């Protein structure tokens, strides 16, 4: 994977992880539960939280690796 592609993939994966963590946030959990129910989505759960942690970590690693490696 070339540098700009891995940079973009890292940013997107990290953003998805961030939004998963935000969705399972303790503040406003009632709002997120109601929204999920109204739109036929799964409610906030520990599985979504752990997926968010994993995706944020993976995306940050890909992003950092793409910035830190040499060109060429």
With vertex at residue 27, the alpha carbon angle to CA 17 and CA 62, rounded to the nearest 5 degrees, is 15
pLDDT digits (tens, 9 = 90+) for 20-31: 998 888 777 888
Q: Which two tokens stand for residue 69?
A: 């490696």
Position 2 confidence tier, pLDDT thresholds 50, 70, 90: confident
Residue ranges per structural domain of the chain:
3-68
- For residue range 42-64, what is the model confidence (pLDDT) as tens digits? 999 999 999 999 999 999 999 99
- Closest C-alpha to 13, from 66, 48, 69, 60: 60
Q: Distance from first CA to last CA of the chain, Å, rounded? A: 12
pTM summary value = 0.84
pLDDT of residue 69: 78
- What single-letter DSSP state applies at residue 52? H
Task: State percent of the chain over pLDDT 90.
Answer: 62
20 in Cβ contact with 49 (< 8 Å) = yes
Work out the pLDDT band at 68, boundaries 50, 70, 90: confident
């Amino acid at each position: 994977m070339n540098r700009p592609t891995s940079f973009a993939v890292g940013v997107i994966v990290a953003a998805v992880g961030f939004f998963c963590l935000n969705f399972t946030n303790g503040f406003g959990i009632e709002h997120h539960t109601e929204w999920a129910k109204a739109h036929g989505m799964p409610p906030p759960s520990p599985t979504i939280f752990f997926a968010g942690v994993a995706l944020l970590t993976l995306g940050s690693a890909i992003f950092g690796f793409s910035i830190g490696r040499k060109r060429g």
